Chains A and B, each alone.
Chain A
Amino acid sequence: MFLQRFWGRFWGRLCRVRRARRVAPWAGAALLGVGLTGAGLPARAATVGRPEGATFSGKLIATGGVTQVEGAAGGGLTPWAVIGGGGTREEVGATAFFTAVRTHDYGMDAYGALIGLWDRVELSIAQDRFDTQAIGGALGLGKGYAFTSTVAGLKVRMAGDAVYDQDSWMPQVALGAQYKSNNRGALVKALGARDDQGVDLYASATKLLLAQSLLLSGTLRLTKANQTGLLGFGGGDDDYHAELEGSAALLLDRHLVAGVEYRMKPNTLARANPGLAPEDDWYDAFVAWLPTRNLAVTLAYVNLGRVVTPTRQNAVYLSLQAGF
C-alpha cells in the first residue's frame, strides 16, 4: 500500500519534470515563429518559476534576529521563536557572531555560529568565556581566572509565522534546548553547584505587530543553570526552575531596531553557598543596526545585577553578526 503510493508519487514527479522539459522546446519554437514574423519578442522563452538551483538570503532584513549570548537567534539576552540566518522555507542560512560584554569588574566574550534549515530548524554552537579579571585575584583564583561554557543549541519552529500572520494574533512558536557544559567542573562544584553540565529547555513565542512597527517576544525557560551555566548547575536544589524572559522592540526603520529585554534567573547557587551574592535578573536596552542583510551590529546597556560579589554589574554589550 505504502510502496504503491510512493511509486505513484515518484512517477508523478518524474512525469511532471518530463512534461516541463517538453514544454520548453515547444514554447521556444512557437516564440521563434512569432519572432520570425517580426513581432519583436525575445528570442528565448522566459521560463517562469523558481530557479532550479539553490537560492540564499531570501528572508526580509532583520527577520532572522540577532544572536543571544548562548548562541540562539533572538535578542541579546533571550532567544526568539525566529529561526536564525537568512534562509526562507526553501533555503538554508547561517550566521556567526562575536559578542563582548564589559562590566567594571568582569569581561565576557561569546562567539559561535548557527545554521537555519528551511526556516524550521536552527542548530547552534557557542562558547561563552567569563573572565573574572581582578576579582579572580581577590577571590584567590588568580587574576584573570576564566570560566568557559560551551553551548549546543537546537530550536524548532512549531507553529505560526511572526512576520506574515498579520491577520491574526497567532505568534510564531518555537521549542528549543540548550546543552551547556562548563570547563571548571571541580571549582563550580566546590562553590556549591551540583553539576558542571545541564540542559535548558525553552518555549518562545514571537510576534511582529507590523502595523505598529512593534516586535514582542516571550520565552519560558526551564533551567538549572547558575549565571547561564558559567557557574555550573543546581545548588540549593537540583530542580528545574521555570523562568520568564521577554523582549519588546521598535522597528525605527528598515535598518534600525531598538528595544528592551528582561531575563529572570533562578537563584540556587547562593542558597547552597551563603558566601556568594544572590543571582539577579538581567535586563538591557539595545539598539541593533543592520546595514545590509548580511550584517548586524548590536549595542546595549545591560544590567547583570550581582555576580558573585555584592556589587551590581552594569555592562556595555557589543555584538557583531555576519551571515547569509
Chain B
Amino acid sequence: MARLTIPTLLLAAILAGPLAGCAAGPSPDLYQTFGGQPGVVALVDDLMDGMMRNPDLHPYFVNANRRHIKAELAAQFCVTLGGPCVYKGMDMKMAHARYGIGDHEFNALVEELQEAMDRRGIPYAAQNRLLAMLAPYRNDMVHPAPPPRARPPLTIAPNAVRVPEGVPEGASTTKETPPAP
C-alpha cells in the first residue's frame, strides 16, 4: 500500500488544478480574457490573415466573402465565449456541408486559430476552453451527412389557421390518388 502513495500524490497534484480551478463553457470572464469585442474582432482578423497564408485553407477562402465570414465568426466567437452578442449567421452544417472539408483542413484551421491566439497572448488554458466548445463542430463540417432536405418544423400552432367550411379534408393531397374506377 505504501508503494501507492507516491503515484497517488502525483495523480492528485495533476488532477487538483484543472478539476478545481477553471470551469468549462461560456463565461463573461473568458470573454474578457479574450479582450472583449475589440479582442475578438482583432483575433478574427488575424485568423483570416493566417488562413489566407495557409496553403491548405487558402483555396476555401480566396473567393469567399471574407469580410462577411469575419463578421459572422466574430459574433459566433463572442457568443461561444460568453459575450453579449447574438449569432445570426448560418448554422454550421449549412455553411460548410457543400465544401469538401476534411479532418486535415479542419485541423489546419484549428492550428491557425491557435497561432493567432498565441500572437494575441491569450493564455493556453483559455485557448483550450474556446477550442473545447468549437471541437464538436467537426461533426457538422467534416464528412457530414447530406444537409436535411426537410423544411424546418412549423412554429405556429396547427389550429392557428382556420380552414373555411366546404374545403374537403386533405384537399391538397387528393391529386396524387388515382381516379376511382
Contacts and interface: CB of A to CB of B under 8 A. Distances in A.
Interface of A: 42, 46-50, 55, 58-61, 88-91, 119, 163-167, 209-214, 248-254, 258-260, 262, 280-281, 283, 285, 303, 305
User: Which 5 pairs across A and B sit closest by C-beta, in order of nearness?
Assistant: A58-B104, A88-B103, A49-B100, A211-B24, A212-B18
Contacts of A91: 103-104
Interface residues of B, number: 45
Nearest to B20: A212
Interface of B: 3, 6-7, 10-11, 14-15, 17-19, 22-25, 56, 59-60, 62-63, 99-105, 107-108, 110-111, 114, 118, 124-125, 128-129, 131-133, 135-136, 138-139, 142-143
A273 B125 CA distance: 51
A46 B63 contact: yes
B52 to A, nearest CB: 12
Given A48-B59, A50-B105, A167-B136, A250 B18 contact: yes
A155 B24 CA distance: 32
A115 B11 CA distance: 31
A35 B18 CA distance: 55
Contacts of A280: 3
A270 to B, nearest CB: 16
A213 B125 contact: yes
A210 B135 contact: yes
Contact of B15 (A47, A55, A248): A248
A53 to B, nearest CB: 12
A35 to B, nearest CB: 13
A213 B128 contact: yes
Contacts of A249: 14
Given A88-B103, A250-B17, A260 B124 contact: no
